[in-house]
Amino acid sequence: RRPFPRPSRQRIFAVANQKGGVGKTTTTVNLSAALAMHGIRVLVIDLDPQGNASTALGVEHRSGTPSIYEVLLGDRPLDEVIAQSGEAEGLFCAPATIDLAGAEIELVSMVAREGRLRRAIASLSHEVDYVFIDCPPSLGLLTVNALVAAKELLIPIQCEYYALEGLGQLLRNVDLVQAHLNQELRLSTILLTMYDSRTRLADQVVQEVKDHFGDRVLGTTIPRNVRLAEAPSYGQSALTYDPVSRGSLSYLAAARELAERGVETPNGAGGNR
Ligand code: ADP
Ligand code: MG
């Protein structure tokens, strides 16, 4: 395996889209596994109370397990909740338990409520090249914490009819976060997911998204592939479950692209659109 290039400074991605089922978790898990299998040290932060990323990475996340919930509430440092994933030597996960469902409300009355994840990552002593934050399907305080902590935003977009609908709301939140809480945040990456080559509609969506977002869209599009959906129930990424499936190969190609793009944002330091 030819190693992927390592970034000169840590890259922190929020993987967000307030729509559910667009491939946020599948993208987080499989990009992370692909990078880690190629010599890159990766931390996945599961910020969805459902804990699907933790499951797919084979990491314990029963209620009561030390998790990102306690980190956000200030009861534990991030280092203490990080578990090693069996997927690859350099792959780690800060799991989410169902307790996190309460955090959205509990955080409201706390000081510096939007910057809690950012502070936790800043004090991390684990040395990792990439951090991926798997966001819940909402624009609440958990997602805001991810946007404040991140340097880059990765939006998975499902190749279906209403693909762009609802994105305006996410992008307005990104503008607000940039203006008030995190100037560094850039929408660097769009990944098209669940592409079905049998429909003409899918091609139209791909074209529409590329017209809209230009070279922020990765050249690799992720096909609809049942292996990607099966892998989590084995506590594995698709790259481990079936490394030669089309799904795995496409995430591998996307991960290579991401690594080769490095930290530079296409189009310089412009806005989001
Ligand atoms: P999100 O995190 O945005 O809610 P998921 O990654 O959990 O989305 O994906 C939603 C569902 O679709 C899951 O059951 C997942 O296994 C499945 N899935 C995701 N990507 C693909 C794909 N490319 N092909 C087939 N199934 C997929
Ligand atoms: Mg998810």
pLDDT at 264: 53
Query: Above 60 in pLDDT, residue 5?
Result: yes
**Span 51-64, average pLDDT:** 96
Q: Whose CA is nearest to atom 20 of ligand 1?
A: 23
Query: Above 60 in pLDDT, residue 50?
Result: yes
Atom of ligand 1 at shortest distance to CA of 232? Answer: 16
Other C-beta atoms lying within 10 Å of the C-beta of residue 79: 13
Nearest to 31 by CA among 195, 176, 189, 164: 189
Unique residue bearing structure tokens 């990607």: 228
Query: Which pair of tokens denotes residue 233?
Result: 């129930």
Q: How far is the CA of 154 from the centre of ligand 1 (A)?
A: 16
Query: Above 80 in pLDDT, residue 214?
Result: yes
pLDDT at 32: 98
Question: Is there an atom of ligand 1 within 6 Å of 136 CB?
Answer: no
Q: Where do the structural domains in the chain lie, given as residue ranges?
A: 11-261
Question: Is there an atom of ligand 1 within 6 Å of 26 CB?
Answer: yes
Give the span between the Cα atoms of 37 and 176, in whole angstroms: 36
Nearest to 16 by CA among 177, 128, 161: 177
3-state DSSP assignment of residue 154: strand
Indicate the average pLDDT of the chain: 93
Give the span between the Cα atoms of 118 and 38, in whole angstroms: 27
CA distances from 108 to 94, 104, 231 (A): 22, 7, 36
Give the span between the Cα atoms of 65 and 9, in whole angstroms: 31
Superfamily of domain 11-261 in CATH is P-loop containing nucleotide triphosphate hydrolases (3.40.50.300)
Question: Is there an atom of ligand 1 within 6 Å of 55 CB?
Answer: no
Give the pTM: 0.95
Each residue's pLDDT tens digit, 144-192: 999 999 999 999 999 988 888 889 999 999 999 999 999 999 999 999 9
Q: How far is the CA of 129 from the centre of ligand 1 (A)?
A: 25
Check: complex ipTM more than 0.90: yes
Question: Is there an atom of ligand 1 within 6 Å of 23 CB?
Answer: yes
Question: Is there an atom of ligand 1 within 6 Å of 50 CB?
Answer: no
**Span 104-120, average pLDDT:** 94
